[in-house]
Homo-oligomer: A and B are copies of this chain.
Amino acid sequence: MISTKIKEAMQQGSAIRDMFEKGKAIKAIYGADQVYDFSLGNPDVATPASVDEDLRFALAQAVSHGHGYMTNAGYEETRRVVAEREIKRSGVPVEPEGIVMTCGAAGALSIIFKSILDPGDEVVVFAPYFAEYRSYVQNAGGILKVLPTKPGEFLPDPNVFKQAISPRTKALLINSPNNPSGCVYDIGTLTALKHVLDASGQSIYVVSDEPYAEIIFGDTKLPSIFALFPNSIIAYSWSKSLSLPGERIGYVACNKTCEDYENLISALAYANRSLGFVNAPALMQRAVIAFADKHVDPKIYEKRRDMLYNILLDSGFSCFLSQGSFYLFPQSPILDEEIFVDECAEHRLLCTPGSAFGMPGHFRLSFCVSEETIKRSASVFHTLGKQYGLI
């Protein structure tokens, strides 16, 4: 018999998988090109050709120097390049020693929480949030405390945060640009959160999950977490910025001013090993030396966002204009958005219910699809808008 614990966890997390299975079934019937699949955050924009070249070069290097183990934190040269990247992003000092290379941002978050949480410790996150956070926190014995955001704008409310802090609060988890809302936390909001942290008199880590950092639209600015929060840790991956999610390459960066800095670095490397990651894939670590600062053109996603956003408005939907990421998170026309999402599937339009992100009443559209697919989906959204009396 498998573990009762994992059985229960699997049952809880089945909404997205159900949709995935339903999507597969629908595609099998109608053909994949007849389905409008907005359900997957699997970037379809091609990896830049220069990055393919970096990968070829990295492979040649690996053939000469081998594919052996390195220290659990990663190749020194890779960590040096990543530290420089973080200095450029933040303007504050970042040391190569403060970098631990990981199997993507998921691996990064998993080892961060394993390193900082004792059983019963709390991690605060604002809804909507990426559902897997709960797994990473629970795997370390922690408790994910989900707080509401300000209605309609998806921004954290500092007062709500203040009231939620308990003696067991160990970390504030931030994800901006946000999956699924596309909200980017402005400097005012972040500064207000910082005041709450300062006034708490507690040591609370700010853990910032930043896989969408380069996918930013218009003149939106992404404030530096390192520059604002001395006690901060960044989780990053090139999964979205270079369309490399299958390759599992990312890192943890520790602010030099963060608490228990040296022990934290040791703990991260230890957790990398003891959870079974051991180290980030060696070949990708070699390639990072060349591609660390590269990213796909965010304008590609911005154009899609505009197209899809306008279709939604034309069809009567109410939607926050995403400032980054590749998601839109419109309001469901009915309270129970899972019923609405099922209805969408009847029209061969696949999306994800907001309840999967701790925020019912909304649904997530991922625009990792061609402009052509977005264009063709207009008639379906229009039909749905009419059906639900939005237009």
List residues of chain A with CB under 8 Å of any chain B CB: 1-7, 9-10, 13, 40, 42-44, 46-47, 52, 55-56, 59, 62-63, 66-70, 103-104, 106-111, 114-119, 121, 132, 135-136, 139-141, 203, 243-248, 259-260, 263-264, 266-267, 270-271, 273-285
Contact = CB atoms under 8 A, between A and B. Distances in A.
A116 B7 CA distance: 10
A70 B111 CA distance: 23
Most B CB within 10 A of own CB, among A9, A43, A104, A114: A114
B42 A69 contact: yes
B282 A247 contact: yes
A263 B42 CA distance: 26
Given A55-B63, A107-B277, A283-B283, 10 more contacts: A6-B271, A9-B270, A44-B66, A44-B68, A59-B59, A103-B278, A104-B276, A106-B277, A107-B278, A132-B276
A2 B178 CA distance: 26
A115 B3 contact: yes
A79 to B, nearest CB: 15
Contacts of A121: 3
30 contacts: A2-B115, A2-B260, A2-B264, A3-B115, A3-B117, A3-B267, A5-B141, A6-B267, A6-B270, A7-B267, A13-B274, A52-B59, A56-B56, A59-B59, A66-B243, A67-B245, A67-B246, A70-B246, A103-B103, A103-B277, A104-B278, A132-B274, A135-B273, A139-B274, A245-B278, A246-B279, A277-B277, A281-B281, A281-B283, A283-B284
Most B CB within 10 A of own CB, among A67, A244, A260, A279: A67
A211 to B, nearest CB: 12
A136 B276 contact: yes
A259 to B, nearest CB: 6
Contacts of A260: 1-2
Contacts of A47: 63, 66-67
A278 B66 contact: no
A200 to B, nearest CB: 15
A104 B271 CA distance: 16
A43 to B, nearest CB: 7
A260 B6 CA distance: 13
B118 A3 contact: yes
B2 A116 contact: yes
A276 B6 contact: no
A248 B281 contact: yes
Contacts of A246: 66-70, 279, 281-283, 285
Given A117-B3, A203-B1, A109 B68 contact: no
A2 B52 CA distance: 38
A244 B70 CA distance: 11
A109 B9 contact: no
Contacts of A277: 103, 106-107, 248, 276-277
Most B CB within 10 A of own CB, among A1, A5, A276, A283: A276
A139 to B, nearest CB: 6
Nearest to A246: B282
B68 A3 contact: no
A62 B47 CA distance: 10
A75 to B, nearest CB: 9
Most B CB within 10 A of own CB, among A68, A109, A141, A264: A68
A119 B5 contact: yes
A231 to B, nearest CB: 11
A275 B68 contact: no
A274 B121 CA distance: 19
